[in-house]
Structure 1
C-alpha cells in the first residue's frame, strides 16, 4: 500500500449499495454509543474501567455484526479487536465497536465506530462514524476517500520541519521495548518536525492525515482494528502508507506509517533507525 491500496472494485461487488449499507449500520451503532456516553469518567478502579469498556463493546457489537455479515455473505469476522498480524486469505470484517473506548469511558469526545472490509490482508472498504459530531468518513479502494460525501485530500507539505505529526500506543500493556521505541520516535520527531501529538486512538489521528489536517502518523504495532480504516482513508486520499522503513504495508507488518507524500522520505529517515 502506497498512494493506493493496489486493489480496485472492478468485479468485486464493492459498489455504492454495499457502502451505503455499511455506513448505515455503523451510524446506527454510533447512535447507541452516543447514548452511552457521559460527560464524566465512569469507573475509578481498573476492574471498573475494564467493565465499562466491555459493556460498550458488547452493546455495539450486537448492532454491528449481523447486518455486516448479511451485507457481505462469505466474509468472515475478526473476533479480537486488539489482535494483530495477517489473516487467512479471503474477506474479513475488521470492526471496532468503540474505537477510542478508553476516551469514551473517561468522558472525552475522541472516539468512533469503525467497520472495514479486508481482502487478502488489504483494506478495500471502510466506514468511520463520529457520533458526537455526526461526521462519517468512507473509502472504497480505487474510488477515493470522503468526509460526509466530500472528497478528501492529504496535505501538500514537503518539509517535515513544517509538519504536524502524531503517534500513540496501540493497546495497554505493550512491552517495554515498544515503549522505548515510542519514546525514541517522539524525540526524533520533536527534533525534526514542527509539533508532535501523542494520543489514542489511531483512527482519530489517521482521519486527520486523510483530511490534510495532520501530515503523518506512525505506530509501532500491528493491531489491525486501529489501522485498517485509517490506512485505506489515507491511501485513497492520496497519501503514502508503508511500514516505518518505507516498505509496502499490509496486515503482516509489524509497524505502520501514513504520511503526506511530500514528507514520507523524511519521516522514514527519522523512524527507520529506531530498532
Structure 2
C-alpha cells in the first residue's frame, strides 16, 4: 500500500469511527436514563456497568465486521482477560464509556473514545461527548477539530498563568493518596491558577487541545484513555509525553500533556511517580 493509498484508507476508517462514536454516544445517552447495574473491577472505585460492556460490543462488532483483519484493544474486553498488546497491525483502541463513575451518577462528563494505530503509531482519534454531542476529531497531519472548528492549544509557558487538569486514579491507599496530594500541592504552590478533576481523562485532554487548560498529568490511566486524545492534542499543536519527560509510551499508564513543551517539562519536574502495572504487563522501568 502506497502512502497515498494508506492515507485515503485511514481517512475512510476515521469516517467510520465518527459514525460509530455518534451511534455509541446515543446509546450511552439512553442508558443514562435507565437503572444502572454497577460492579467493580480492580478496586471498589474502578466501576463497570452493563452499558460499558454493551457499548463496547456494539463498537467492536461493527468494526470487526467491516475490518476483519484489524486488531482491537477495548477496556472491557481487556478487563475480561484479553491481552492488551499493541502490534504493527492496524489496531482500534476503544473506551466505550470514559467516565464510568460520572455515568453512574449522571454527572455530565462522559465520552466515547476511539483511537487508531498502525505500526504502533497513532493515526487518528475520535472522541464524542455523550451529554452535549460535542465531537472531537483529529488525523495525523490533518489538524484537530471540535464540531468541525479547528482546535488550537494554549501556548502558555508560565505555570503561574496555567489551569492544570488531572485525575485521581484507581488506587486509593494512603501512600498513593499522599503522593497524589503532594503532586497537586506542588503545582498549586507554583502557584498555578488552579487544578481541576472532571472524572473523564479523554475530555480533560480535549480541554488541553482546545486551549481551555494548559496542562494535564495522570498516573493510572490506560491506553484507551489516551490514544484518541493524544492525536487530537498533537494536531492542535500541543505535546504529549511520558511523566519522565521522554516520549509517550501508550502502555505505561502515565502521561503529561500540555499546550507548550515548556509547560510539560515544568509539570514533569514537579511530579513524584506513582507506580501502576503496565497495560501490556511488561516489567516496569523506573525513571
User: So what's the TM-score if we normalise by structure 1?
Assistant: 0.84
CA distance in 2, matches of 1:131, 1:176: 34
- 1:14-163, aligned counterparts within 5 Å? 14-38=9-33, 42=36, 53-81=48-76, 87-163=86-162
**In the alignment, what sits opposite 2:189?**
191
For residue 176 of structure 1, report the CA deviation from its aligned partner: 5.4
**In the alignment, what sits opposite 2:179?**
181
Per-residue deviation, residues 84-110 of structure 1 (Å, max 9, x unmatched): 975233222111111111111111110
For residue 119 of structure 1, report the CA deviation from its aligned partner: 2.5
RCO comparison, higher one (Cα < 8 Å, 6+): 1
For residue 189 of structure 1, report the CA deviation from its aligned partner: 0.9
| Cα distance change on mapping 1:241 and 1:16 into 2, 3 Å | same
| Cα distance change on mapping 1:55 and 1:149 into 2, 3 Å | same
**In the alignment, what sits opposite 1:265?**
265
| Cα distance change on mapping 1:71 and 1:236 into 2, 3 Å | farther
The two structures, once aligned, show a CA RMSD in angstroms of 2.9
CA distance in 1, matches of 2:245, 2:233: 15
SS of residue matched to 2:186: helix
User: So what's the TM-score if we normalise by structure 2?
Assistant: 0.81
Per-residue deviation, residues 212-239 of structure 1 (Å, max 9, x unmatched): 0011000112511111121111111110
CA distance in 2, matches of 1:165, 1:243: 16
For residue 69 of structure 1, report the CA deviation from its aligned partner: 2.5
**In the alignment, what sits opposite 1:6?**
none
CA distance in 1, matches of 2:39, 2:125: 35
Q: Which is further off, 56-65 or 19-28?
A: 56-65
Number of residue pairs the alignment of both structures matches: 263
SS of residue matched to 1:90: coil
Per-residue deviation, residues 200-223 of structure 1 (Å, max 9, x unmatched): 221110000000001100011251
| Cα distance change on mapping 1:229 and 1:177 into 2, 3 Å | farther
Per-residue deviation, residues 239-275 of structure 1 (Å, max 9, x unmatched): 011112211112243521000114223222222x556
CA distance in 1, matches of 2:221, 2:60: 23
| Cα distance change on mapping 1:10 and 1:242 into 2, 3 Å | farther
CA distance in 2, matches of 1:257, 1:162: 18
List alignment gaps of at least 5 residues for structure 1: 1-8
List alignment gaps of at least 5 residues for structure 2: 275-287
Contact kept, 8 Å, 2:37 with 2:49, in 1: the verdict is: no
